[in-house]
Chains A and B, each alone.
Chain A
Amino acid sequence: MNATRQITTLRTAAVIGSTIIGVGILSFPRYMAATGGSSAPFVAFSGIVISIACFWLLASLCRRFPRESLFVFSRRLIGKPLSFVFAVLILLIFVLLTGLTARQFGDVATTVLFKKTPIEATVFLMLLICQLSSRRDVIKFTYIHFFYLPLIIGPILFITLISMRNMDLLNLQPVLVMPSAAFWRGAVEASFLFQSSFIIVLLVPFMQKPKQAVRAGVLAIAVAGIIYLLIVVAAIGLFGSEETKLLIYPTLESARSAAVGEGFLERLDAIFIVLWVISVFTTLYSTYYLAACLLQQVFAFRDQRISSTLILPFTFVMAAFPANVFETYTWSLALGAASMILLSVYLFLLWSMYLIRRPRKRGAA
């Protein structure tokens, strides 16, 4: 009844998976086409490999401290002041990320389906349900992700596979082009989408088997990666790489081209968008929850109830900041790069300190 270590490996994977699949699925093929041309799926694949490598660095460190969260053991590894600075920086990044993701969602929602709804209302409602749901503990947090994951993966897979029927394989050739600077930039940009797998740091202290943190994360990234790959393949295969570059939301267009039967389900894109709301919610919920937990640890609040309320105005203001869709995307790419650099530095510091200190620990034990 009251065991704290309740999160199974499968549920951990579900949390990470549903966190990763989010607002990005609509525009993802465009980035990939812009940087890789017809080899866009390969760019995406490289991005997935990069993010698995990053995740492995993070999670294998975390599982060495199965009883503490990252921010607790980093205090011991790199000292209180430095770890405080990093915690604040990561907090900022996740607040910004939440705001920008909410904004991206609002942009899509108002332009595609909910034309009469003001964007502020759309964004605010979404942030509000994140806030309300962030008041609960980590166990309940995982319940939510576990429940919604099938509702996210199922329709996306279904609609993508259906739209693939009209695919022209010629559009996907040549499969491989010479890797260039743009290619690698695209791969790194693709890996930004997987950054929210950082949520693992919250889960490890509550996992039944913390040793399997890496396995769970890799499984989740692989599944989410396959879905992203399929989306890219479907979009490029349908429209060709040049056309895909021009579409703001290529995935939506490919969903639009999908139809089942004769007029039985004509407008699959509407269903797609409605279910996409869930996947956005789970993503935003994770980043919001992470930000709330970070704020709680930085200011040493008793629980994240106050901190989740405090974050709400900041995320909302952040969501209202960009002037238009393109600014939103530029900013989120910049944010992705910034957090990539920050996390790498942080991880590098932690790992090096860990490796330096480890022998002494062994001797003491």
Chain B
Amino acid sequence: MQGWKEKYTSYIKKQQPGPPKAPETEVLGHSLADNLEHLQALLGSNGDFVARDFLLFGKYEAVMIFFSSLVNQEQIQEHILKPLMARPDDHQGVPENLDGIIHYVWKIAVQVTQGNSERKLSCLPPAIVKGNLVLLIDGVPEALLLDMRQIDLRSVDQPQTEQVIRGPREGYVEKLENNLALLRYRLQSTDLRVEISPLGSRTRSRVALCYLDSIADPQLVAEAMRRISIIDTDGIIDAGYIEQFIEDQPLSPFPQVQNTERPDKTVAALLEGRVAILVDGSPFALIIPALFNQFFQTVDDYTERFIMGSLIRIIRLIALASSLFFPALYVSVISFNPELMPTDFAVAISGGRAGVPFPAVLEVLIMEVSMEVLREATIRLPQMIGGALSIVGVLVIGQAAVAAGLASPITVVIVALTTIGSFATPAYNAAIALRMLRFPLILLAGMFGLYGVMIGTILIINHLLFLDSFGVPYMSPFIPGKWRDWKDALVRVPLWWMRRRPSFLHVRDSARLPRAVPDVYEDQILQQGGEAGERYPSDHDAANGRRNR
């Protein structure tokens, strides 16, 4: 947190100058034994703590301190221990006294890419815990820190929660460096700023805040830093912890921070002017601000051609709406307004419901709750059993419930449609929010019929309209919004038509395509259709031609 506070204040200072901060002391002593004792007192007793003493160049007493679980011991042996323990006659230029020894070791002896020297005793324990090796020499009030960190983690893998048909297959892993590398690999821009600092008084998890300096709104970046800086907790285990500390409205069922496992999605968000937060140890990046709009968009919408992308997006929206309203509408129509159905259908339904002893509300509630239980169980179980269970659940339980007279066949159909609809929502947390909201809606429908559903809907919509995510209204670009932002809302227009970044993000530079492009060729596309090839090889070539001119 201290680091974040400093970053936050320094960021603010860039805009408006203020007073600098005073550093703290407690320096290393000359005696090796004393220093070692102090260090051990600070670190406590640990099984993987190693203090290896040896004679530096056969002359000076020295100790290497590190955690064996965090470092690459082979490399230590090869690139540090071996040159340092060499006989003095192998080293021509070894200083006679101790004054330049640290300098000599760093410049000539060890073969390590990252490291620094440190005089403050209090700085050593955090560095050791991070995976550094500390070299202490008797009689020298200075320590050499060498980065030997190596932690074996799983390799870059296909993201589990966000599958795509067409698009990159890489997902984040747990290690922050790898994730940042994935980001930098996709966004090779000098504009990408990555602010890293530890968070959590005990876990000291490194948190990275990424944004594009020339695009992102400085107010947004400052606000994100401010909210992170006031987090004061002992541990950040996952990005989800940070999400809960920084969101605008914790009591809302709707997520106001987007999380993603996909570097390409993160890069797209950064390019739009959003801010991403990554945490060491978490394979999820947080993206802020997150709007309702984002929760039914996927990577496929953009990688696939625009007509298909738009149609599928609309299908997804229908699925999302049906996962919320379907059971409630069913209950209210069945129990209050059966006259709304076509007569034949109403007869069929009442025939199916003849043996069911419960009112429609109860019947639907029972089925919905058992469906939720099934869903939760399938997630928690090992993958092989999970598949078996879902078959058992869907086929056997549904069939048996109908046969036993617990539910009517149409109820099973409704519940199944609802569940499938909610699985079509790409964002798991948004899908959960909508799935849970359908229970109060069912209850309202059971009590007040269609009127209850209407009241519930108005409440939900009003809540959505009232929400903000980092100062951006949650329902942007619908309400409030500019027409040009609708190009990427319900439908996704061609990429070359989206010439500017979303206006609700208040970006510094809103141009995505060069402004000089003349008004695009919708007219040609509409008029000429497939015959465009006669006059122009393609519309894009025409566009390029005009742009060059």
By a beta-carbon cutoff of 8 Å, the part of chain A in contact with chain B is 1-2, 6, 8, 11, 109, 113-114, 116-117, 121-122, 125-126, 129, 132-133, 136, 140, 143-144, 146-147, 263, 266-267, 270, 274, 277-278, 281
Contacts and interface: CB of A to CB of B under 8 A. Distances in A.
A116 B465 contact: no
B336 A114 contact: yes
B463 to A, nearest CB: 9
A125 B459 CA distance: 11
A1 B219 contact: yes
B290 interface: no
B185 interface: no
B327 interface: no
Q: 9 tightest CB-CB pairs across the interface, nearest first?
A: A1-B471, A277-B454, A143-B465, A147-B479, A114-B451, A143-B479, A133-B462, A125-B455, A140-B466
A109 B451 contact: yes
10 contacts: A2-B471, A114-B448, A116-B449, A125-B448, A129-B462, A143-B465, A147-B478, A267-B339, A267-B340, A270-B450
Given A1-B506, A11-B480, A147-B461, A126 B455 contact: yes
Contacts of A266: 342
A281 B458 contact: yes
B170 to A, nearest CB: 34
Interface residues of B, number: 27
A129 B458 contact: yes
Contacts of A281: 458
Nearest to B444: A125
B328 to A, nearest CB: 12
Given A266-B342, A278-B458, A143 B451 contact: no
A6 B252 CA distance: 25
A141 to B, nearest CB: 10
Nearest to B223: A1
B291 interface: no
Contact of B448 (A117, A133, A144): A117
Contacts of B336: 114, 116
A274 B479 contact: no
A350 B397 CA distance: 73
A132 B459 contact: yes
Contact of B473 (A113, A129, A133, A143): A143
A203 to B, nearest CB: 14
Interface string B448-484: 1111101100110110011000010101001110000
Interface in B189-224: 217, 219
B155 interface: no
Given A117-B449, A125-B448, A278 B219 contact: no
B244 interface: no
Nearest to A277: B454
Contact of B451 (A6, A113, A147): A113
B448 A147 contact: no
B340 A146 contact: no
Nearest to A282: B458
Contacts of A143: 465-466, 473, 475, 479-480
Given A1-B471, A116-B449, A267-B340, A147 B454 contact: no
B443 to A, nearest CB: 13
A135 to B, nearest CB: 9
B459 A277 contact: no
B337 interface: yes
Contacts of A1: 217, 219, 471, 506
A277 B459 CA distance: 13
A263 B342 CA distance: 7
A274 B451 CA distance: 7
B337 A270 contact: yes
